[in-house]
Structure 1
Amino acid sequence: MAAMPFVFVLIWSTGFIVAKFGLPYAEPLTFLLLRFAGVLIVLLPLMWLMRAPWPVGRMRHIAFAGILVQAGYLAGVWCAIKIGMPAGLSALIVGMQPILTAFAAPLVGERVRGRQWIGLMFGICGVALVVANKISMIGLSWQSIALCVFALLSITTGTLYQKRYCASFDLRTGTVIQFAASIVVVLPFAIAFEHLDASLSNVQWTANFIGALLWSVLALSIGAIFLLFALIRKSAATQVTSLLYLTPPTTAVMAWAMFGEAFSITGMLGMVLAVIGVALVVRK
């Protein structure tokens, strides 16, 4: 479907909006655990009713890729924002993923052409312009920077690993495996650092929080992830990750529409550059 990349970008771009609604009411790892558990609650009955096949022989590869893409990436970004990392700067750091993926493309048997390298440069310049007026160094710490860099390396490695070792699998059972593995990894850290208990006493169940959680489960962790896996299956890793250049501009437009955040001429120029960059990368 020609519209699949655009639908993916629109849904994926709501991630920072969800953080704005959800983080005031729960610690980041606690929120992510509820999000991962919600995915299992939705998918397990569907998987059983539809008799979805298990990916025999590739479960450990699928689980490892899921830990990197889900637990590593999301935990890194959300924890960084929670301890003071500005959302604009975190978007810029994570926005380096297409460049890293392009450098590592030979590892998965892909070749990045000269036109695509130009597009990648255009894309990162566009992202920088979009988030330039949102970057603040107030409250910045080495811990928050380290968490964002960890998130960047995690999602880049996870995308390449999945492309190489388990690009094709049933999305229903594969997603269940990935989120179950992510729960196993994140749970001990939530108990140790966020004092998580069985009563979930550290969660405020407000309307905003519930709405953010439901959107995270249904739209982001099921809808967007299914689209991401489908794109990884049918396209080169560099082409897929270049779509993430469109996330900061799209998020900026959403923040302007929903919260009245400023959207400057510089940001508009950045959006144009990002679109041109992605077009250069994905054009056949």
Structure 2
Amino acid sequence: MQLSTLAPILFVLLWSTGFVGAKLGLPYAEPFTFLWVRMVIVVGLLTGLAALLRSPWPRGWVLNLHIGISGLLLHTGYLGGVFFAISRGLPAGLSALIVGLQPILTAILAQFLLRERVSRVQWVGLLLGFAGVGLVVGEKALSARLLSIEPPAFVAIVLALLCTTLGTLYQKRFAVQMPLVGGTVVQYIAASVGLFVMSLLFRETMQIQWTQPFVFALVWLVLVLSVGAILLLMYLIRHNSASTVASLFYLVPPATALEAYFLFGERLGGWALLGMGLAAVGVALVVRR
């Protein structure tokens, strides 16, 4: 099977584990501190990988600036917003629902910013995918009003939605030709600086409880998410339209729901199963040739 065929499937499976990692690790570290440590480790690993593969590095301060900005949006903005929102009481399912607006928002903005054409069939697919996401996490969204959620959590998750949307578009517009490994290192360097600044602004203590669940979550997020999934995302952005790449995020909440069912025993009802089917059909309509 070719990488172009396998990459979307692998990306969804890997990316969907991010909420599981957050759920495991956040009780033992503050959100920006957690992410900053993760980024610093990833920078070291990918720098070594770039040297081993003799990967080219981005040349010119303009390209490096564009890559750094996309890194701040995709990692500091998106991940920081999601982790902060979850740490302030927002359920992972409701977070996924709000961030699940990304494909619609990306498709709308891509028409104006990238001059990408979205066909009628693709619009139907985007709407079906969003409906499917809504069904999968709808029960959690309804139950969220019974929980104690701090207002900043909603602000953070909306900012995360905007950052991941703008980051995808910015990457496609200004940094799509960046060297894959070397460019990703530059993104993570910018993100680590941004996350360190955020930890200072929010006066985090930067204390970590190095428990077994936290270490497992950290290792998983570093290797599986920040190395494997992000390199796949950069590959997909390079070889596909922004709307096509964004549509894959519709499959993330259903995949996360399945993982939560097997790992944490969270029940999957009939509406959730129907939503998974709708999301899959929606993505198939968007990405079809």
Same fold (TM over 0.5): yes
Indicate the residue corresponding to 1:117 in structure 2.
123
Indicate the residue corresponding to 1:78 in structure 2.
83
1:251 Cα deviation (Å)?
Answer: 0.4
1:59 to 50, 64, 71: 64
Long gaps (5+) in structure 1: none
- 1:27–1:194 contact (8 Å) kept in structure 2: no
Q: Cα deviation per residue 1:15-66 (whole Å; 9 max; x = unaligned)?
A: 1100111001101101100110110121112222333211113111011001
Identity %: 50
- 2:42–2:226 contact (8 Å) kept in structure 1: yes
- 1:21–1:209 contact (8 Å) kept in structure 2: yes
Distance 1:195 1:243 in 2: 34
- 2:24–2:217 contact (8 Å) kept in structure 1: yes
Q: Does residue 256 of structure 2 align to residue 251 of structure 1? A: yes
- 1:30–1:194 contact (8 Å) kept in structure 2: no
Indicate the residue corresponding to 1:280 in structure 2.
285
Q: Cα deviation per residue 1:162-190 (whole Å; 9 max; x = unaligned)?
A: 10111122111111101110111111221
Q: Does residue 149 of structure 2 align to residue 143 of structure 1? A: no
1:105 to 106, 110, 113: 110
> What is the TM-score of this pair, normalised by structure 1?
0.96
Q: Does residue 28 of structure 2 align to residue 25 of structure 1? A: yes
AA partner of residue 17 (structure 1): V
Q: Provide the aligned C-alpha RMSD in A.
A: 1.1
- Residue 53 of structure 1 aligns to a residue whose secondary structure is coil
- 2:132–2:274 contact (8 Å) kept in structure 1: yes
Indicate the residue corresponding to 1:15 in structure 2.
18
> What is the TM-score of this pair, normalised by structure 2?
0.94
**What are the residue-to-residue correspondences of 1:1-284 with 2, within 5 Å?**
1=3, 2-57=5-60, 58-106=63-111, 107-135=113-141, 136-137=144-145, 138-196=147-205, 202-284=207-289
1:88 Cα deviation (Å)?
Answer: 1.3
1:194 Cα deviation (Å)?
Answer: 4.2
- 2:76–2:191 contact (8 Å) kept in structure 1: yes
- 1:95–1:245 contact (8 Å) kept in structure 2: yes
Distance 1:271 1:50 in 2: 39
- Residue 118 of structure 2 aligns to a residue whose secondary structure is coil
Distance 2:254 2:52 in 1: 40
Long gaps (5+) in structure 2: none
Q: Which moved more, 1:185-194 or 1:203-212?
A: 185-194
1:103 Cα deviation (Å)?
Answer: 0.2
Distance 2:118 2:216 in 1: 41
Distance 2:14 2:271 in 1: 24
1:195 Cα deviation (Å)?
Answer: 3.3
**Runs of 4+ in structure 1 displaced over 6 angstroms?**
none
- Residue 56 of structure 1 aligns to a residue whose secondary structure is coil
- Residue 99 of structure 1 aligns to a residue whose secondary structure is helix
AA partner of residue 126 (structure 1): G
Distance 2:44 2:154 in 1: 34
- 1:66–1:181 contact (8 Å) kept in structure 2: yes
